[in-house]
Structure 1
Amino acid sequence: MLLPPSFVVLFVGYAAALLVLLVLLLAIARARGLDRWWAAGTAVSLAVILALTAPVGALVDDWAGAADAFAHRFTDPGVLVQALADVHLNAERQANVLLFIPAGLAGALLTRSFVPVAVALSGLSWLIELIQSMSTTRYGAAEDWVYNTTGALIGVMVAALWRLATRSREETPAEDTTIRLPAVPARGAR
């Protein structure tokens, strides 16, 4: 069974983007004097996201129709409210949240920029949903974007708390246990 050409192009594009991203993340880590493991962790978490969300089938023939349906799902509040009204968390929703937590955590700890990381991951999720809506095997949904963004925000918040805890520990001076003797006046000094 041959893979559709659109999948091969998408896979090569994802692989190239991840390679460029890894190089950029390593450069950020080196420039900021940070541990390269956070850069690698961010790249791996993004690779997992892209691998698990990549459409495997062919692209739709009616691009205009797919784009209209995508725009409708993301701009009509009624569609989103109806999709989110079913409040129980099923496995897919849990996976959408959990998938983005590591990327939010590692990205925020790497860059020390919490809001830009959350915004970038939310944008990545939106782009993934757009690509999925152009596929014959996947479905781009606004509620998936909401759950993915929630996962990214959780990861960023954990990173912020971690950073706050480690920074306050680093800034707290150690208890001074030095024994100080009273100064002895020099001879002849009054």
Structure 2
Amino acid sequence: MPTQRMSDGLPDVPEWIDEKIDVNERRETQDHHIVDAIQTAPRPFVSVKYLMNKLGMSRQGVKDRLDLLEEIDVVSSCQGANGRVYWVTNQVSKWPVPPDVEVGPKKSDETTVSEFISQTHVQLAVIALFIGVGGSFLITVFLTSTALSVEIPYEVMDGIVLLGFLSSLFSVLFMFVAGVYWLFDRVQRHESPGLGS
């Protein structure tokens, strides 16, 4: 049974929630408002963005308050398809949210920067690039010292040239492996059911 808090200017919340959350006079938006916004949402779960728009709070402010409410078991959350979703904890039963729940429409089918960088073939290509740049630098040092007739011991010069060429070779090898991973990934995506071409 909800408590009668409307006289205090606060929305009604279930009594068990009212006992757990306190009123903070320094805050314009009380925890009661957050719980009420979740309970009156058109869906049984909400995203941080929904609460930001509904309550006019910052993203970090909403996240901090939801974390506190989750610590005292007023709200629960789980990772959805496009972000974290929150709902008021039900003491009678656990309300599971499937992991494929859409928090909001995805802006586009394009890969984000973080998704792009986390791909194995991209990481291998970046390693190949750094190794190749290092090898090119060593070969440039050798050619410059030769052109300027700088006297460097033969063993050191031999090591620089060998390391430069080996770095270039490993760079090509890593680039080849990155290409194989990319092809394997493309073939796997096309063979997976339910994924577009």
Greater share of residues in strand: 2
Range of TM-score over shorter length: under 0.3
Rg larger in 1 or in 2? 2
Higher RCO (C-alpha under 8 Å, 6+ residues apart):
1
Greater share of residues in helix: 1
- TM-score between both structures, scaled by the size of structure 1: 0.28
